[in-house]
Chains A and B, each alone.
Chain A
Amino acid sequence: MRIKVEKRFYITKWQEVCIILASIVLAFSSGALVFHFLGVDPLEAYKMMIDGSLGDFYGVSETVAKTIPLIMCSLAVALSFTMVVWNIGAEGQFVLGALACTAFVRYLYVDNFVVMLACMGISALLAGGLWGAFAGFLKARWNVNEIITTLMMNYVAILLLQYFVYGSWRDPTSLGFPMTPLFPKSARLHQFFSTRVHSGIFFAVIIALILWIVVRKGVWGYEIRVSGQNPKAADYAGIRSTRNVILVMFLSGAIAGLAGMAEMAGLHRRLQPGFAVGYGYTAIIIAWLARLHPLAIIFVSFLFGALFVGGENLQIAMRLPLSSVQILQGLILFFLLGGEFFRNYRVSFISRKR
């Protein structure tokens, strides 16, 4: 018996879905093994997670609240991935957006919601965008590996956050706890029906729709798709790759930055050291899983939102640390990667007849 591996020419949507589902099932199964190894009943743990995230109205609302930044960060990441520019810096750009809008509130507050919304939004877009564009510039001009630069800038961003929150931005009335003062009323995004779901959700959905249209039908969308699939053909087509790399990183960073602003103004309303919880990294998994499709990203983000909320519930109910969620995320990604193999190649068994 011999294993024959052939590249696939085509794959049906049904087969694709099957492979993805199988990967996720396997991921959760191996996650169950991990729980078992830690002396935790996996079924109990999973039930806790589902109850916490989808079991009641409050849980679902928390999930949706988590979905908002996930959608936006995933859209940001997916945009750059379309051009095969690896923006691993969504986490840092997210932080920069939050920093920018906090700075605005602190130094230039005006008691007018519309003005504040516009200013916070623009400053967040610019801050995140420039943070990303810097890495884009280095790549475009000198071919500096953007995975490393964006990652390094994540670390810098978080340290910057610490610097401000422990330093000059600290709320003097907070009894020594590192946090900024609460955002005043005009700097807040509206929350719905006493849940923490805020109007940032509109940003998320609108950006998803815009990206969907631009990438599929727009001129620039076509250009970045060509650049991502075949850079030499892009040169042949006269596409200005240098400009596009910087632009894509700027837009990607800007969207992540806006996500940070929405999270601040809509959810937290004050800056704290633990602001960055890894949405920028989860976004990578979501974008990958959704095959960079903006509408699929909305759906997948919701699932991962549930994963996060479920994880928090585990933390409260069973005193398991949040790192368990990270392990699950890693496992999901491993199995998705493994599943990719079956998407690209067909395996058959040949009997030797000699």
Chain B
Amino acid sequence: MPLMDWGRDMTENYLVKMRGITKAFYGIKANDGVDFDLKCGEVHALLGENGAGKSTLMSVLCGLYQPDDGVIVVNGRKVVFHSPKDAIARGIGIVHQHFMLVPSLTVWENMALGSRDMEFVIDENAICERIKELSQRYGLDVDPLTPVWQLSIGEQQRVAILRMLYHEANILILDEPTSVLTPQEIENLFITIKHMKEEDYGIVFISHKLREVFEIADRITVLRRGRVVGSMKTFEATPERLAEMMVGTSGVSEVRATEEKPKSNGKPLLVAEDIVVKNDKGLIAVDGISFTLRENQILGIAGVSGNGQGELAEALSGMRKIESGRLYFTVEDVTYASARQMVDLGVKYIPSDRKGVGLVPNMNVAENVALRKYWQPPFKKGFFIDWDEVYRDSKSLVESYEILTPGVNIPVRMLSGGNLQKLILARELSGELKVVIAMHPTWGLDVKATAFVREKLLSARNDGSAVLLISEDLDELLALSDVLAVIYRGKIMGMIEGPKAENIEEIGLMMAGIPTSVGGGNVIDED
């Protein structure tokens, strides 16, 4: 049953019309004269690689950014949004990539936040009632009284979606909703979206994944470098054409591991035996994991974020304490080794948080290159750092990795995401290299940078190193891994040698904690 009373000009059934939207940051146009519209009862996909301007466009629509130029018409009325409050009042709802929920508040508190018709003294019962109603109607199961920080990622997304409905939005924007879900959860999400369609909601589906867009969208608009490169109905499109529009050149070959996958009995380099690691809250995050990383091998670890990957990566790189179990580098026991000792052994770590962990944004390129080498001989001379040597090293790294920067003296926060990752890669892959632990290495990068990173990881493997690749991107894992493990609640659910696309279903089940017949790995507890 249609629920809107948004009256007005519904003759054309256009919920949203955006014309000529332009938004620049520091002189660079994130959106350049973009046109976009949305009809009642349709799913319109915004497709483009990372950095193309999709999120910016929707941030403009939901009132977070004010456009430098352009017109927005919502439900037949021209509107100007000065803040998200205005957009919400006009029926626009958005689920951001990072959900934008307040962790310390409960589900119902998060939902009611910003509610127009809430009284000064909050009526908790009425709010919870309404949430239960909506929850049942749309099949999105949530417990209103749970604090959000206790919820899983999938649950949090449900809360974010319900919140849009709670605020009576009829324009629903989903920003890369599938990047944090298991394949089964993605299916459920699509069912929900189709349900919304039938109820005459308009849905904007932002994604960089071609496959999904084909499955769920009625119309597709492709953005590249802030401009619309094409807009068509889904049945008029082909994957090749879309890919070409997204990237600008034809056929950027996807980087794949060579067919001749090296045998899996290379020399073991990093061996984990039943390691247990705790998270910041003191709870067990890695619950007895064992595996062997061999030279010339890429071991991929798939899993929904928050299942212990971060803690595992930190433990392996020496940044986090291993509570029990053992870790060996070749034959040496490194269970209690520090981060520095691991670096000296040749175990390098590419963290997922580039600016938060991997680099010091206010320091320059050279100082950042020194970050993981400054205690080593050519760079350290007694109590001082030989900055000349550091600068020399930085310059050569910048050259060989083609990092776009005016010089090595520039504060690193001025570099683009892709160049930041190249810098981290350059630093970690240089010097003594035996093992590389890469966590979400291509997250947020455009196609070119992504290909670059993957190439470098592959060549590291081919040169004899072991690579541990932790990623949420199943396609990436399938393309690069020699062996694929799935992590769930800190345990390895299973391992697959030479994983292929056919394995996706069982991988998805393992990601959701359901053990399958393809075994290996640890004994799995019944939940």
Contact = CB atoms under 8 A, between A and B. Distances in A.
Nearest to B367: A222
Given A217-B384, A219-B384, A230-B356, A238 B340 contact: yes
Contacts of A237: 339-340, 371-372, 374
Interface in B359-411: 359-363, 367, 370-372, 374-375, 380, 383-385, 387
Interface string A224-242: 0110011011011110000
Given A219-B375, A235-B339, A6 B26 contact: yes
A234 to B, nearest CB: 8
B385 A217 contact: yes
A233 B370 contact: no
Among A219, A236, A353, chain B packs the most CB atoms within 10 A around the CB of A236
Contact of A219 (B360, B361, B372, B380): B380
Interface string A1-13: 0100010011000
B351 interface: yes
B339 A238 contact: yes
A230 B319 contact: no
Contacts of A2: 66
A218 B340 contact: no
Contact of A233 (B69, B357, B380, B387): B357
A155 interface: no
A230 B360 contact: yes
A229 B360 contact: yes
Interface in A88-134: none
Nearest to A237: B371
Contacts of A341: none
A57 interface: no
A236 B372 contact: yes
A217 B391 CA distance: 13
A354 interface: yes
Contacts of B414: 9-10
A214 B367 CA distance: 15
B343 interface: yes
Contacts of B371: 226, 233, 236-237
Contacts of A217: 384-385, 387
A240 to B, nearest CB: 9
A252 to B, nearest CB: 19
B338 interface: yes
Nearest to B361: A230
A219 B359 contact: no
Most buried by A among B71, B357, B361: B357
Nearest to B359: A233
A226 B363 contact: yes
B281 to A, nearest CB: 15
Contacts of A10: 414
Contacts, number: 72
A313 to B, nearest CB: 42
A225 B26 contact: no
Nearest to B370: A222
B258 to A, nearest CB: 32
Contact of B362 (A218, A220, A229, A353): A229
A10 B358 CA distance: 22
Interface in B181-215: none
B38 to A, nearest CB: 21
A233 B360 contact: yes
B384 A218 contact: yes
Contact of A232 (B25, B26, B356): B356
B80 interface: yes
A237 B368 CA distance: 10
Given A230-B360, A233-B360, A218 B338 contact: no
A236 B380 contact: no
A222 B387 CA distance: 11
Contact of A236 (B351, B362, B387): B351
A2 B71 CA distance: 17
B194 to A, nearest CB: 37
Contacts of B385: 217-219, 222
B339 A219 contact: no
B339 A236 contact: yes
Contacts of A226: 360, 363, 371
A232 to B, nearest CB: 5
A350 B65 CA distance: 14
B319 A218 contact: no
Contacts of A218: 383-385
11 contacts: A218-B385, A219-B375, A219-B384, A219-B385, A220-B383, A222-B367, A222-B370, A233-B371, A236-B319, A236-B349, A350-B68
Q: Which A-B residue pairs are the 5 nearest by beta carbons?
A: A238-B340, A238-B339, A230-B360, A232-B357, A237-B371
Interface of B: 25-26, 66, 68-69, 71, 80, 318-319, 338-340, 343, 349, 351, 353, 356-363, 367, 370-372, 374-375, 380, 383-385, 387, 414
Given A222-B374, A236-B351, A354-B71, 6 more contacts: A10-B414, A229-B361, A232-B356, A233-B360, A236-B339, A354-B80
